[in-house]
Structure 1
Amino acid sequence: MKLLPRLFSRRPAFSAALAPDQAFYAVGDVHGCDAQLERMLDTLAAGGHPTAALVMVGDYIDRGDESAAVLSRLFEIQQAAPQGQMICLKGNHEAMLLAFLDDPARNGPRWMRHGGLQTLASYRIAPPMRPDPADAWHAARDQLRAALGEDLELWLKALPTRWQSGNVLVAHAGAQPTLPVEAQPEDALLWGHPDFLTRCRTDGLWVVYGHYITDNPEPADGRIPVDSGAYATGRLTAALVEPGKASYIHSE
């Protein structure tokens, strides 16, 4: 029997033009690095795009030492900004904080392992440890809730998981590549999807995302990464997304 050669078909490469409805800045994961955030915001304010919206991709807290200052800064700036000019998205670390507020004894140990220790410390709250009784976790939750204040807690709860301009989607951890925007599960937007970094979308939608630390971020295959690991590298990254191009700004 003659064997026929196996035929392989290549998936089509992503080729859609970058076409947001407006120019905007997307700032990567801050993770408690308030000094870098302040410098980045000053740089963007002087960047010559006064009408460009500012989109924060989430993960404002944990790992770095200044989570309380970061949340206060972002909340105050957004409250004062014109409607739609500043968008703060939810990241998986904000989701863990909110889960801690909801059920501290159950969700607290996981959050502590992923940076919650530093966030509590930024509010001068002693973190419980896993063997501690439920009462200790509830006491820490009550202290954090009081430190945040009602307005900031409500702001955190209301953070959206995605924002879109033209054919550009911004979501903290990207998106499931085979599903349209309106069908995206929240877990994919906050925690990522196993196919996101390897499979191109076929609907012409670009995705700006954080969550995955990238040493030298650049636009490729419909993806625009903006997380440069500020808490570990001291380098905060933003992308200026415009019709036809995306460029990067770094703050250290």
Structure 2
Amino acid sequence: MFNFSPRRGKGPAGARGYRAYVVGDIHGRVDLLEHLLAKIHADLQHRPARKALLVFVGDLIDRGPSSAQVLERLRTYRRERVRPVFLLGNHEEVLLRILGGDVSVVDSWLRFGGLQCLQSYGVPFARLRDRPAEEVVEIVRSAVPQHHVEFLETFVDSCRFGDYLFVHAGIRPGIEVDRQSQSDLRWIREPFLFDESDHGFVVVHGHTIRDEVEERPNRIGIDTGAYRSGVLTALAIENADRWLIDTRTAPEGTASAGD
């Protein structure tokens, strides 16, 4: 867990001296990732920050067509005064389990985006047809390069940022942060989504798709279903201010179609 100066005041505020950009579930859409990064970089030029975090809430992979390209882009991401932080989503968890030899999740992974993930690594569908799970595991191991595996193994489960907590899915209400299970942080929906209690911080999460950012007093959901909607969203937080950036408009300074 990354921890950036918890603080409490009248309203939620970020960690002192930092700005955070928290990016929702990308799910293999490298085109949207590039678009959103351009907009975040433009925002940093328009209103510079001394230090910034660029936090990805997980589910970088699966469903969309470019999982391998997303991982490579972010594995090699470098920008002055911007520190990237990567949270492990349930889709990354499943891929790591398969790479570790877990055959029990192979069929469900292929149905819920793993097929597209393997295709991004150059594995044709025909190679997977009617293969037993044990053979699929070996195909995955041969397709995913070791530097991507090592990158995924660096991901963390949470990041505390002042009066905010960034996680992939949510938290189990009533349980201290340091006692939360990895399963809940990566997979939970109910009862977290319907809980209205004050957690002592605002949870910023992905995992559950909504047409628009879902903002409630105790949580903010930023998964806008990029792989199917074409809308990838980031929440920016600095001190007591927060604002949204998404891919529905061209990056600042870029001519739109028809201009």
Q: Normalised by the size of structure 2, how large is the TM-score?
A: 0.83
Q: Distance in 2 between matches of 1:101 and 1:16?
A: 46
Which residue pairs with 2:179 in the alignment? Answer: 183
Structure 1 residues 40-69: Cα deviation after superposition (integer angstroms, max 9, x where no partner): 001101102443211011000111001111
The 1:134–1:184 alpha-carbon spacing in structure 2 relative to 1, beyond 3 Å, is: closer
Which residue pairs with 1:171 in the alignment? Answer: 167
> Pick from 207, 212, 228: which aligns with 1:216?
212
Which residue pairs with 1:111 in the alignment? Answer: 109
Q: How many residues align?
A: 232
Which residue pairs with 2:252 in the alignment? Answer: none
Indicate the structure (1 or 2) with the bigger Cα radius of gyration. Answer: 1
Residue 93 in structure 1 maps to residue 91 in structure 2: yes
Q: Contact 2:13–2:238 (CA<8 Å) still a contact in 1?
A: yes
Residue 68 in structure 1 maps to residue 62 in structure 2: no
TM-superposed CA distance for 1:178, in Å, is 1.1
- SS of the equivalent of 1:219 reads strand
Q: Contact 1:177–1:200 (CA<8 Å) still a contact in 2?
A: no
Q: CA RMSD in A?
A: 2.0
Q: Contact 1:16–1:204 (CA<8 Å) still a contact in 2?
A: no
Q: Distance in 2 between matches of 1:196 and 1:88?
A: 22
Which residue pairs with 1:124 in the alignment? Answer: 122
Which residue pairs with 1:239 in the alignment? Answer: 235
Q: Which amino acid aligns with 1:123?
A: Y
Structure 1 residues 6-55: Cα deviation after superposition (integer angstroms, max 9, x where no partner): xxxxxxxxx96112213211000000010110010011011024432110
Q: Distance in 1 between matches of 2:201 and 2:111?
A: 34
Which residue pairs with 2:11 in the alignment? Answer: 17
Which residue pairs with 2:153 in the alignment? Answer: 157
Q: Distance in 2 between matches of 1:42 and 1:201?
A: 37
Q: Which amino acid aligns with 1:94?
A: E
The 1:101–1:220 alpha-carbon spacing in structure 2 relative to 1, beyond 3 Å, is: same
- SS of the equivalent of 1:164 reads strand
Q: Distance in 2 between matches of 1:118 and 1:238?
A: 24
Residue 30 in structure 1 maps to residue 26 in structure 2: yes
Q: Distance in 1 between matches of 2:29 and 2:97?
A: 22
Structure 1 residues 73-117: Cα deviation after superposition (integer angstroms, max 9, x where no partner): 01000xx35697110111101011111111253321121111000
Q: Contact 1:238–1:248 (CA<8 Å) still a contact in 2?
A: yes
Structure 1 residues 164-199: Cα deviation after superposition (integer angstroms, max 9, x where no partner): 111210000011121111011111110014111111
Which residue pairs with 1:11 in the alignment? Answer: none
Out of 192-201 and 60-69, give the one that drifted further. 192-201
Q: Distance in 2 between matches of 1:104 and 1:187?
A: 16
Q: Distance in 2 between matches of 1:250 and 1:44?
A: 9
Q: Distance in 1 between matches of 2:96 and 2:141?
A: 13
TM-superposed CA distance for 1:203, in Å, is 3.9
Q: Which amino acid aligns with 1:245?
A: D
- SS of the equivalent of 1:40 reads helix
The 1:212–1:169 alpha-carbon spacing in structure 2 relative to 1, beyond 3 Å, is: same
Structure 1 residues 122-178: Cα deviation after superposition (integer angstroms, max 9, x where no partner): 01113534x52355224312322xxx3222211102210111111210000011121
- SS of the equivalent of 1:247 reads strand
Aligned-pair identity in percent equals 34
